[in-house]
Amino acid sequence: MQKINIRLLPIVAGAIIVLLTTGQPSYSQLPGGKVHGSIFALVRGQDTFPKEAVFAGRYIFLPDITVYLKNATTNATSPTVQTNLDGTFAIPSQPEAQYQLCWKAAGYVAGCSAASFVLRNVNVNLNPVGIEAEPGVIYGHVALKDGAACRFIATFLGKNTSTMVTASAVSGPAKTVQANSYCDYFIPALSSGAAKVEATCEGARALTNATISGAPTVVNLTLPNARPKLGPAYAELGGKVVRAAAPGSTVHVSVAVQDGGGYPLHYRWAVDPPTSSFTSVDAPAVDWTVPAGAGLATIWALAYDDQAGNILSRVHLSTVPNRIDFSGHVLADNSPAVPGAAVAINGVTAKTDSSGNFALFLTKEEPRYAVTITKSGYQMLSRIL
């Protein structure tokens, strides 16, 4: 199966809409919904930090902040949860009531939101909440040489990497935080004076000196590596590239990957559905016996250098004769999903669903595939695969 992510350009600018729950405090005994939200950093005298990222907001979102709900009537509190590397959280369903959102973390002023909200039996999505840091702040941007975050998740292949940043002040204890998914970090409550700031991700390290004072100190770091560059990934049978293969046939799968920073590359392979007979090899090519009864079979290749350079590739094979599957997702500069878009591939058409996803199949393989996406209000997009 070919997977495609398409971004459309809007002709008319769109807008992000935030839904808030409001109402009078009359409640039933039914379980309430979950509460979703995000936490970002505030510094005394400075309300926000500029952050340019599509759909990410304009704040430094904070991992590892403890958040919970407090019942505005009884003061009873919910179980606590931690914000993730996106700075977001999800509090499990609580009884219907009126609540305040509360937070606490080392180096930050603990507190609760001044405004309360009504939780009924539907999920609530709160606006981002800024929390105040204690004085003595270092913050900044930490990324690979190509500008990418050193954040990579492929747990089924044994990879889950993130960036740690440590500030070691001469006159006080060292403090370590995780950088968020958007390459930002934030360390509060440091002692004044000289300090060393070090970022690490796997074997990659970046170190610099800084001075901590009353005003927040900006320290940006660049890890000395870049992501590997991915080339073609394909399966061959009888010396011919194929996108469909009969169950039981053995195909030769290859990936073309170029290292990003001059470090030797290693490889891990995994197949879906899993088969006990498949053995991964540390090489850019492997032989794979196509499983029976799957309809669609996938082989994954991880290329990595243990120095923060990781990239994932895959090859989909149809195991049904005369069926070449395509699926994908259509998004735009003003929306993470575009429903109702017309997708045509070599004359076969489909519409995206309410989440912007589509699926279709062709009845035979072709040397190339012409993809066209159209929807009223957006520019037409064409691409050759």
CA gap 21, 36 in Å, rounded: 12
Q: pLDDT grade, residue 4 (50/70/90)?
A: low
CATH entry, 138-223, from 2.40.128.520, 2.60.40.1120, 3.20.20.70, 3.50.50.60: 2.60.40.1120
Mean predicted confidence (pLDDT) in 53-59: 42
Q: Which of 24-33, 45-54, 273-282 has the highest mean pLDDT?
A: 273-282
CA gap 300, 278 in Å, rounded: 12
Architecture of the structural domain at 31-132: Sandwich (2.60)
Which tokens is 77 given?
């509190």
**Cα 201 off chain centre by:** 17
Phi, psi at 156, each rounded to 5°: -70, -10
**Region(s) of the chain under CATH 2.60.40.1120:** 138-223
Question: What confidence tens digit (pLDDT) does each residue in 62-88 have?
Answer: 999 999 999 999 999 999 999 999 999
Question: What confidence tens digit (pLDDT) does each residue in 259-308 have?
Answer: 999 999 999 999 999 999 999 999 999 999 999 876 889 999 999 999 99
Query: In the chain, what are the helix, strand and coil shares in percent, each to the nearest 5?
Result: 0, 50, 50
According to the model, what pLDDT value does residue 294 have?
Answer: 66
Mean predicted confidence (pLDDT) in 183-195: 94
**Region(s) of the chain under CATH 2.60.40.10:** 31-132, 229-318
According to the model, what pLDDT value does residue 345 have?
Answer: 92
**DSSP per-residue codes, 28-93:** -SSB---EEEEEEEEBTTB-------TTT-SS-B-SS-EEEEEETTT--BPPPEE--TTSEEEEPP
The three-state secondary structure class of 226 is coil
| CB contact at 8 A, 243 and 236 | no
| CB contact at 8 A, 61 and 175 | no
Mean predicted confidence (pLDDT) in 331-351: 91
| CB contact at 8 A, 265 and 228 | yes
The three-state secondary structure class of 167 is strand
According to the model, what pLDDT value does residue 24 have?
Answer: 38
CATH superfamily, domain at 229-318: Immunoglobulins (2.60.40.10)
Which tokens is 92 given?
């499990």
Percent of the chain with pLDDT over 90: 70
* pLDDT, the chain, mean: 87
